[in-house]
Structure 1
């Protein structure tokens, strides 16, 4: 048997693309289609992200008792995050543990971009604690909480051309806490926001693989989540 890295990477993409396409064709109701797409992306991230990360459908909570909207995909820390609540199939994770949030839909449109932007803002608005970090030779200053990544992942695009000006125009409409940093249109390519706030769009025959690699690179740049002030959450025991 002769191994081929390009073939392996192509196979990863084809697996995701085919499962998304099947979900669209088989699931009749729009809600079922959305749930099926979400499951496909969660499965990929669960299989390929490093073990320190988890990807789940979740709600995010902060130590002030505020909650985000329900998020299709929350990428969060399980190495340093001390607790995750489970409630009726949905997880509730502390804001400090969150690295990234994504919405998963069948088709990217202006409405779905606005929807994903609102979901991202609901997470970014939450308060995050950060304590000094003890180590072998002393105590490090509290880490400034990192920016939370956000995006929208789909199978297809509602525009022609699929990755043209309509896409970038709608992505640029709302920035700040609403900004989407990166995403994937599996049938066509990827998009990513650079440090200047502009979007780079890449057509790709292996879009799902390209998205996964860019996400991992950006997660690496975020390093580790801040040290959570667990006593700030424990204060609610007296409420």
Structure 2
């Protein structure tokens, strides 16, 4: 089993490393890297999840920044809107959001934090769930997982005091929960009130594999997303014609 996960890490890390060395344009470089992360997550996460680059919207008409990676639900909040090349995912269906960059540094941590905050600020509906054994009360919306994924780190050491400072200075709405620097390791953060963060850093040669396992465990703890009130979106977004 260990050899399989090391092989998974090595394959994806090689692809991301080649991307950085051979693609010259910064914008294109980011796009290629996003595609690799999306492909890896889509292939290895349980099939109850979808993985896309998308905007996140709510029933009040608000919209997040464009998010590099959105992990969202297939079952209870299935509808997704397309407009041109852009994908719009309802806030209720979102489990996790990630920003993708080539190198991890304080600027990118802050940038990712703002992207995460733009999603968490959205309104989420929740209605009764109907099953073959009856009705279940509306589920309280869960905490959306936020994170940062990079090829490597601009810090040396990669997860030293500057990294800790960057994590601890994010806004409450933009807190980062988990992330990975593919060539160095991964991190996971547990927040306790009022403003204390316990940061677990793992320097490992199988960073991607460990990150994947930790992410799956976090997703498992959420269980299912709330059942979306689809008609709330219709009220705000569909105008009826007069006869």
User: Which category of TM-score, normalised to the shorter sequence, fits these structures?
Assistant: over 0.9
Selected match of 1:23 from 19, 22, 32: 19
**Within the alignment, does 1:192 sit opposite 2:188 as a pair?**
yes
Unaligned runs of 5+ in 2: none
Instruction: Kindly provide the CA deviation profile for residues 119-145 of structure 1, in whole angstroms up to 9, marking residues without a partner as x.
Output: 000000000000022233432211000
Q: CA offset at residue 31 of structure 1?
A: 1.0
Q: CA offset at residue 195 of structure 1?
A: 4.2
**Mapping of residues 78-227 of structure 1, within 5 Å:** 78-196=74-192, 197-227=197-227
What is the distance in 2 between the residues matched to 1:210 and 1:165?
A: 22
Q: Secondary structure at the match of 1:224?
A: coil
What is the distance in 2 between the residues matched to 1:215 and 1:32?
A: 27
Q: Secondary structure at the match of 1:238?
A: coil
1:238 maps to 239
What is the distance in 2 between the residues matched to 1:88 and 1:16?
A: 30
Q: Secondary structure at the match of 2:97?
A: strand
2:9 maps to 13
Q: Secondary structure at the match of 1:178?
A: coil
Instruction: Kindly provide the CA deviation profile for residues 50-78 of structure 1, in whole angstroms up to 9, marking residues without a partner as x.
Output: 11101100000000000000000000001
Q: Secondary structure at the match of 2:200?
A: strand
Q: CA offset at residue 224 of structure 1?
A: 0.3
* TM-score, reference length from structure 1: 0.95
Q: CA offset at residue 194 of structure 1?
A: 1.5
Aligned residue pair count? 235
What is the distance in 2 between the residues matched to 1:38 and 1:87?
A: 20
What is the distance in 2 between the residues matched to 1:87 and 1:204?
A: 41
Q: Secondary structure at the match of 1:228?
A: coil
Q: Secondary structure at the match of 1:177?
A: coil
